[in-house]
Amino acid sequence: MSERLLETVEVETGARPTASVIWLHGVGADGHQFEPLVGQLTRAASPPLRFVLPHAPIRRITLCNHQPMRGWYDLRNVDRQVGQDEEAIRASQAAISALLLRERERGIPSDRIVLGGFSQGASMALYVGPRFPETLAAVVALSGYRLIASTLQTERHEANRQTPFFLGHGTADPVVRLKEGELARDLLRRAGYAVEWHVYPAGHEVPAEEVAAVADFLANIL
């Protein structure tokens, strides 16, 4: 998967973008999942942005009756910390890193690239961001959780030690429980990362208040 770039949906908010946002979708969705929110994530005073919305590979997902669907890795246990699909997680890491490097080759410095995602995509963003060897502008993770947490200290890269993180979660999320988001937050904070933590009276979704907060965050960062 890392030898061939993932297919993507791309939306540019103006001519000659000066920054990029790579956004990773949740399991069973695709790159179009967050396409309708691009306009809401862009403030009037923001610079021209390129949103890159990749499609994850199609794979069979154990917890979804082994049905084939797009996913960054398999889900094998309702306890997401048990039986993590490390092989696919690392393959997806390589594929996502390739997209980050392509943006640099297209003229966007790495410190003008935001990596973000929702649910499974948020978890991948939290996994890839600290381990990426070039400084990113920020990492945004909505309704995410920890992946291979035990390797963070040994695998994280100095380049992103100062990178800001935005974590958001619904207090009534029945899919990825709030506690999972809190554990991801605590893992990052213990490692010394600057984490903005936001909670909303919502389920496994991205409420309007969260979209507005992310838009403000992106405007401040970029």
Which amino acid is located at 144 in the chain?
Answer: G
When divided into structural domains, the chain yields a total of: 1
Sign of dihedral through CA atoms 60, 65, 67, 73? negative
Residue 214 lies in a domain: yes
Q: Cα torsion for 134, 138, 142, 143, to the nearest 10°?
A: 50
Residue 24 lies in a domain: yes
Residue 105 lies in a domain: yes
pLDDT interval class at 134 (50, 70, 90)? very high
pLDDT interval class at 1 (50, 70, 90)? very low
Q: Report the C-alpha gap between 6 and 124 in whole angstroms.
A: 15
Residue 187 lies in a domain: yes
What pLDDT, on the 0 to 100 scale, is given for residue 43? 87
Q: What letter does residue 50 receive in the DSSP assignment? A: E
CATH assignment of the domain containing 33: 3.40.50.1820
Task: Indicate the burial class of 178 (C-beta count within 10 angstroms; 0-12, 13-18, 19 or more).
Answer: middle
What residues are annotated to the active site?
119, 173, 204
CB distance 196 to 210 below 8 Å: no
Mean of pLDDT values over 142-163 = 97
**4 vs 68 pLDDT, higher one:** 68
Q: Report the C-alpha gap between 15 and 133 in whole angstroms.
A: 29
Where in the sequence is the domain holding 51, given as residue range(s)? Answer: 8-221
Q: What letter does residue 62 receive in the DSSP assignment? A: G
Q: Measured between alpha carbons, how far apart are the two ends of the chain, in Å?
A: 30
Q: Is the pLDDT of residue 3 over 70?
A: no
pTM of the model: 0.95
Could you tell me the two tokens for 169? 């979660």
Residue 129 lies in a domain: yes
Residue 104 lies in a domain: yes
| Closest by Cα among 25, 28, 47 to 37 | 25
Mean of pLDDT over the chain: 96
Residue 85 lies in a domain: yes
Q: Is the pLDDT of residue 45 over 90?
A: no
Q: Which residues make beta-bridge pairs with 23?
A: 116
What pLDDT, on the 0 to 100 scale, is given for residue 57? 97
What pLDDT, on the 0 to 100 scale, is given for residue 100? 98
Q: Is the pLDDT of residue 46 over 90?
A: no
Residue 2 lies in a domain: no
